[in-house]
Amino acid sequence: MILRFGTTTAAAALAVGLTSMSAQAELVFKPGEDSRFNWESYEALKVNDLSGKTVTVFGPWLGPDKDLVENTMAYFEEATGIDVQYSGSDSFEQQIVIDTQAGSAPDVSIFPQPGLASDLAGKGFLAPLGSDTADWVRDNYAAGQSWVDLGTFKGNDGEEELFGFFYKVDVKSLVWYSPDNFDDAGYDVPQTMEELKALTEQIVADGGTPWCIGLGSGGATGWPGTDWVEDMMLRTQPPEVYDQWVRNEIPFNDPKVVGAIEEFGWFANNEKFVDTPGAVAASDFRDSPKGLFSSPPACYMHRQASFIPSFFPEGTEMGVDADFFYFPAYEGKDLGAPVLGAGTVFALTNDTPEGRALIEFLKSPIAHEVWMAQSGFLTPHKGVNVDAYADDTLKGLGEILLGATTFRFDGSDLMPGAVGAGSFWTGMVDFVGGKPADQVGTEIQASWDAIK
């Protein structure tokens, strides 16, 4: 059910469509009993007694994710007395636009990516979080300035302010491999891009195939190639150049962007480097990593985001049969340790004291550690205990995030749909099919220029 908060219809349906967490979610970890958690931050929440108050929250999370956010928000409820009413929808992006325009928005909205939040901020539908919160993020998140930048948008007065608070992050800058295959061949995990390229060439010299790469994804074929290019942009250019590219302040056929596409081509367009020479675009990204587990291995490495183990063969044991390492940066370019990823943005779509109290809760270590200890949650919060992660895989991913000097959001998700989910995808297919990078860049740029 899709609810329009504040309307007569929504009010009549609240009991069905909204979950009151105090009634349905118990504390999954008893306060004070698990030493992994920062219980002091939980106790500190009790200074604000908001008993009898309600905060409405709307986001994209359904199913297991809905249960997890409710389990986490239950600690806010228990400590403050406030009633959190969460509603999830798979049509969030469409519905939140309707709700804000109708003046019936929830107190807090959870955006899957910052582009829509930025649009609504520019129309005056979001409340700024304030300089104190910007300072907090800058001081308490790894690569803190990156998170401030990503959550800073122009308001309807044209002034830039922090409107978005990032909470729950995904990491894309990863390379997956089989530790047994590396051990058998005597290979070490590369620490720099120079070492990664040298390892790629060494595997070929030893008679193996370094990479499994697949861009196939049905109607979305090509998107894995955009992630490669975005990662290479962050490894060949400063973050401000990446930002200019994403905002169309430098074109796709700029030499800096063409160079990043060609960096992707160094791996994908060498028939000795890939397991499916001439068929990278036709290979489904879900099937591509299976080459890591064949005997002998069809490939030794696969670059993909943190979700890819869902498509590993049944019974694969993480840390034993498969593991990952950070997709490294060039040592010689001195660009630090950039990380590409995604994340959800909490914003105030109805400026209430209860909504602001919830944002304050998200700053506390306990708000992160409780979800960390369950599943599917990564955080750049430097104040959390990484031992709270549910398993070693999540802990390792979290440590990569904490080691980032720069974080940037998936660029294609921030571009207009006709480009980021259109010509950029098809351009990557054309590129691995043999079309020159500068021609691909020119054609993608033409599609952007055609947008009115």
Instruction: Give a yes or no: residue 414 inside a domain.
Output: no
Instruction: Give a yes or no: residue 439 inside a domain.
Output: yes
Instruction: Give a yes or no: residue 125 inside a domain.
Output: yes
**Residue 295 sits in the same domain as residue 395:** no
Query: How many C-beta atoms surround the C-beta of residue 107 within 10 A?
Result: 25
Average pLDDT for 264-278: 96
pLDDT of residue 16 exceeding 50: no
Residue 390 dihedral angles phi and psi, to the nearest 5°: -65, -25
Contact of 105 with 99, CB cutoff 8 Å: yes
The band of 3, judged by pLDDT with boundaries at 50, 70 and 90, is very low
CA distance 231 to 406: 12
> What pLDDT score was predicted for residue 21?
52
- Name the packing angle between helices 131-140 and 144-151 (round to 10°): 140
**Residue 12 sits in the same domain as residue 155:** yes
Instruction: Give a yes or no: residue 31 inside a domain.
Output: yes
The pLDDT tens digits for 27-82 are 999 999 999 999 999 999 999 889 999 999 999 999 999 999 999 999 999 999 99
**Residue 30 sits in the same domain as residue 69:** yes
Structure tokens of 435? 């079309």
**Residue 402 sits in the same domain as residue 374:** yes
The pLDDT tens digits for 150-182 are 999 999 999 999 999 999 999 999 999 999 999
**Residue 58 sits in the same domain as residue 118:** yes
**Residue 154 sits in the same domain as residue 188:** no
User: Over the chain, what is the mean pLDDT?
Assistant: 94
**Residue 285 sits in the same domain as residue 434:** yes
Instruction: Give a yes or no: residue 438 inside a domain.
Output: yes
**Residue 180 sits in the same domain as residue 167:** no
Which residue type sits at 170?
A: D
CA distance 198 to 201: 5
- Nearest Cα to Cα of residue 92 among 73, 112, 108, 106: 112
**Residue 438 sits in which domain range?**
174-339+419-449
**Residue 308 sits in the same domain as residue 184:** yes
The pLDDT tens digits for 383-427 are 999 999 999 999 999 999 999 999 999 999 999 999 999 999 999
- Residue 88's DSSP bridge partners are 59
Instruction: Give a yes or no: residue 48 inside a domain.
Output: yes
CA distance 417 to 222: 14
Domains: count for the chain: 2
- Nearest Cα to Cα of residue 37 among 400, 374, 396, 398: 374
CA distance 170 to 443: 30
Contact of 252 with 441, CB cutoff 8 Å: yes
CA distance 323 to 174: 10
Structure tokens of 251? 């074109």
The pLDDT tens digits for 18-29 are 555 544 458 999
Instruction: Give a yes or no: residue 364 inside a domain.
Output: yes
Instruction: Give a yes or no: residue 3 inside a domain.
Output: no
DSSP 5: T
Residue 303 three-state SS:
strand
What are the angstrom distances between the C-alpha of 105 and each of 12, 155, 449? Answer: 16, 17, 34
Structure tokens of 420? 């980021």
Residue 294 dihedral angles phi and psi, to the nearest 5°: -80, 165
**Residue 312 sits in the same domain as residue 216:** yes
Structure tokens of 114? 């910052």
> What pLDDT score was predicted for residue 14?
33
**Residue 160 sits in the same domain as residue 49:** yes
**Residue 270 sits in the same domain as residue 298:** yes
pLDDT of residue 452 exceeding 80: no
Q: In what order do the strands lie in the sheet with 174-177?
A: 302-303, 174-177, 323-326
Where residue 137 sits, what CATH number does that domain have? 3.40.190.10
